[in-house]
Structure 1
């Protein structure tokens, strides 16, 4: 098996008496490019990917803003450069944390009613012409970011009500405890 294209490389490090017992892993990963022209889901996924990248790669806080800034493109980089210049003119400190930058990006690139949009996508999610597997994946994708505080039974009821009528009837003959 050729490991040259592997996503993960094992690197053995030697430290004193622990020789050969300690392993580090190198992961090929990068922060996604951000153009500033994506929908609600894609935007939130992008921010989650950045958070995950920083966590997995153990990126120090003082480097995070610069790492995101170099991945901005098009509308997003124009906005960021303008924001940086404005702060300099106003003699304000530069943005130093990813948390603050993320909040600014959210305010700039998401519609004010993005939570309503996500909720609407969730409550209107139905199987339609999709397979059960595709519908289930979509349903779970929409249910997660909404954090509605629904019980699992309520979530199951909402899921079943989105299935095709013929499947709803079959589901009515059995007890379903979870959507997974």
Structure 2
């Protein structure tokens, strides 16, 4: 019995009451992902390292959101093999059985086996050489950055962000580099933004210079494709 004049005690809250909604949300999320339908990509076993790496990346994404066992991942991936890839995999399985070797029962081991077959040993060396010579050239800043980033991922190059910044900066076209070197940036994303901004400035300067020359008496000579367009108009 509550004493006279005293407020009633607060209601007792179960210790795990605050945890239950969070746990339910996690379970709901897992159930949602489990019900999603995914189309596993096909793999034909072409003599193309890029084709294999792209396929493996797509399968990786699917497996990351499903709590499959290693053996099930191997089975699911192998079901999507066609043509040469299917014949090659059956041979791998048969040879391991004949030798008494344990079956490949993890996705990582399967990728290692596939990489040894479908990615030539010189592939990474070629990528590294390409990366060392990579320049912006006729590419936009964004195109140059994406190509550099993709090449680094394909070659599995691990380096500090400062090294990547230096690599990207040195590959920029000189007019852009000249502007960027006076700008402030503290990471790779900021450098790309500054370089893109400088690129727009350079392009605007070129347009202004061309229009100014034309106004002064046609001193600017249009490039061949533009001259052809002018002849058609005339």
**8 Å CA contact 1:156, 1:177 repeated in 2:** no
| Structural RMSD (CA) | 2.5
Q: How many residues align?
A: 163
**8 Å CA contact 1:32, 1:71 repeated in 2:** yes
Q: What is the TM-score when the length of structure 1 is the normalising length?
A: 0.76
**8 Å CA contact 2:48, 2:118 repeated in 1:** no
In terms of fraction of residues, the more strand-rich structure is 1
Alignment of 1:102-121 (within 5 A): 102-121=111-130
Question: Which of these two proteins has the greater Rg computed from alpha carbons?
Answer: 2
Displacement of 1:106 in angstroms is 0.9
Q: What is the TM-score when the length of structure 2 is the normalising length?
A: 0.60
1:128 aligns with 2:137: yes
**103 and 41 in structure 1: CA distance in 2 versus 1, 3 angstrom threshold:** same
> Structure with the greater relative contact order (CA < 8 A, sep ≥ 6): 1 or 2?
1
Please, which runs of 5 or more residues in structure 1 have no aligned partner?
1-16
Q: Distance in 1 between matches of 2:52 and 2:83?
A: 15
Displacement of 1:146 in angstroms is 4.2
Deviation sequence 1:8-45 (CA, Å, 0-9, x none): xxxxxxxxx97x96453243323321122254344233
Alignment of 1:145-160 (within 5 A): 145-146=154-155, 148-160=157-169
Q: Distance in 1 between matches of 2:78 and 2:36?
A: 21
In terms of fraction of residues, the more helix-rich structure is 2
